[in-house]
Structure 1
Amino acid sequence: MPKQPEPTARDDHTQRGRARQTHPRHPARAVCKTSPVNGGTPSNDHGAAAPQAPAEAVLGTAGVVRRTVSAAESTAVTRRWWDADADDYHAEHGEFLGVHDFVWCPEGLREQDAELLGDVRGARALEVGCGSAPCSQWLAEHGAWVVGLDVSAGMLRHAQAAAAATGTMVPLVQAGAERLPFAEMSFDVACSAFGAVPFVADSTAVMREVARVLRPGGRWVFAVNHPIRWIFPDDPGPAGLTAVQPYFDRTPYVEVDGSGRPTYVEHHRTLGDRVREIAAAGLVLTDLVEPEWPEGHQREWGQWSPLRGALFPGTAIFCCRRPE
């Protein structure tokens, strides 16, 4: 049996990817097996039965290692993490995310203002990594026919509760982003606000799958952590301004329990990596949006803060099209 990695003390990159699985959401004809989402019993605004311990405590997170993680392992770990973290996550961030608002990033950029997806009235839309699906709710309320997809049943339970609260019923599918369970050319628009892309080992496969299910001329817009933030500690204060991690080190960030079993995984890609992934999928990159920190915006979220936001970007939003 291979030796388990020895957990190290939790380093400054803990909480690296927590700023959003919201965005951290009428299915097209399925082409592979999916898991339907069963109902929950919501008792608060986002469907949690009650606040629970943080996912680190639930999963027994004990330390951090750097090592490769297979696609299957990464998917399984991500599902476990977000199932465990769903209630605590929404207790902490639910007010900011809203129930039917489309917020692209912790900088507070909203689709209502940015219009990165264009006019969505009558469009068939897919949200990849929808979490509790506030973005899907917003799209549906603005005239789109939307499907929300997420790997985590815990997050989708919150999406169901939100739909019950708003009366806008968005179809939800539990599945991974590397094999989308939809027929070719099913959607006019696909989007992801901090969902799925940073948590899969093969993000090139995600790009190819999105390209496959998009119709010619369709848009794919996704927001992720800006790659430059990988080099800094996850600290919103002065300690988060000193580079400690090589930008070109793509070894996954892995939190583990006491036996070395992964409890959380996040994958880093450089800007160049993302551009090549997009091109390899046959998509065209039309814009790269790096939201600036708005004047007067004082909310900190993980390492996102006014201090850091004044110096370098925290979010990258890739705007792509499938050629006609």
Structure 2
Amino acid sequence: MESSGSVGRRPVTDAESRHAGRRWWDGDADAYQAEHGTFLGDADFVWCPEGLREADAGLLGDLSGKRILELGCGAASCARWLRGRGAHPVALDLSAGMLRHAAAASARCGVPVPLVQADAMALPFPDGAFDIVCTAFGAIPFVADSAAVMREVARVLIPGGLWVFSVTHPIRWIFLDDPGEAGLTAVHPYFDRRPYVEQDVSGVPTYVEQHRTLGDRIRELVAAGFVLRDLVEPEWPEGHEQIWGQWSPLRGRLFPGTAIFVADRP
């Protein structure tokens, strides 16, 4: 019987990570939206599987008239929500499949936003083009050199500009991706920074997700010239019973699943 590939932790190059990310999200876009589209909404800003919304958190501050880049936008529900609050958003993603869903959702709800297909490590915008850059689980976990993304974000922000991004909480990397009791036992070293890699029978990565410690993320921000203003660890809310991958009420009530970094460029 032919093997379908393998899963493990190993180094990957920038090119391997980029190719895997684009291929994966192009192929998974339909299934992802079918599974999560209702939770995310057509025009809503949900930071994380815990269900924290920007409407409640207010992490981006005043939005009226602000030029905002949604990085790794997926179907761009956040960008459409931002436009509804008087902002001028641009939605960027590497995946044509996800941008296809973004265009369809914009037509469906009548809230168009500019869509750009590009690599987060080489943003196609001039210096100081935006007041705010944000992403809810986009781009950062899927690039080999997230420090380079931090530098690019700093470049396209105005002085005083805001950079807010959510990622899987680094502590989650010590556990199996299991929403049940098996996901409560620590099995991986926190300091093993090798990415999680799924690969085909030829050894070509088909899905890559990167791990950085909390300290790593802070050092990346500082090196890019940012000042960290807050680190939000959303708590699992009462009454929220929806499982999203490895996020579940069981795990969420014991340890954090999401980290949201709030930083600005002085």
CA deviation after TM superposition for structure 1 residue 67, in Å: 1.5
The letter of the residue matching 1:241 is L
Write the mapping of 1:34-183 to structure 2, written as runs, cut at 5 A. Answer: 62-183=5-126
Taking every aligned residue pair, what percent have the same amino acid on both sides? 70
In structure 2, give the amino acid aligned to 1:172.
Answer: L
Q: Take 1:82 and 1:280, find their aligned partners in 2: how far apart are those partners?
A: 30
Q: 2:192 aligns with which of 249, 271, 275?
A: 249
Quick one: which of 251, 258, 263 aligns to 2:201?
A: 258
SS of residue in 1 equivalent to 2:5 = strand
CA distance in 2, matches of 1:70, 1:140: 36
1:268 alignment partner in structure 2: 211
Deviations 1:188-207 (A, max 9, x none): 01100000000000000010
Match of 2:159 among 200, 210, 216: 216
Amino acid at match of 2:263: C
Amino acid at match of 1:222: F
Structure 2 match to 1:305: 248
For this pair of structures, how many residues does the alignment match? 265
Asked whether 1:228 is paired with 2:155, we answer: no
Q: Structure 1 regions of 5+ residues with no counterpart?
A: 1-6, 10-60
Post-superposition offset of 1:62: 2.3
Structure 2 unpaired stretches of 5+: none
Q: Secondary structure at the match of 1:122?
A: coil
Indicate yes or no: 2:100 matched with 1:189.
no
Q: Normalization by structure 2: what TM-score?
A: 0.98
Q: CA RMSD in A?
A: 1.1
Greater helix content: 2
TM-score, normalization: structure 1?
A: 0.81
Any idea what the Cα deviations from partners look like across 1:56-104, whole Å, max 9, x if unmatched? xxxxx52213221111221111000000000011111111011101000
Is 1:205 matched with 2:154? no
Runs of 4+ in 1 over 4 A off after TM superposition: none
- Take 1:74 and 1:264, find their aligned partners in 2: how far apart are those partners? 8
Return the letter of the residue paired with 1:302. G
Aligned-partner Cα distance in 2 for 1:281–1:296: 39
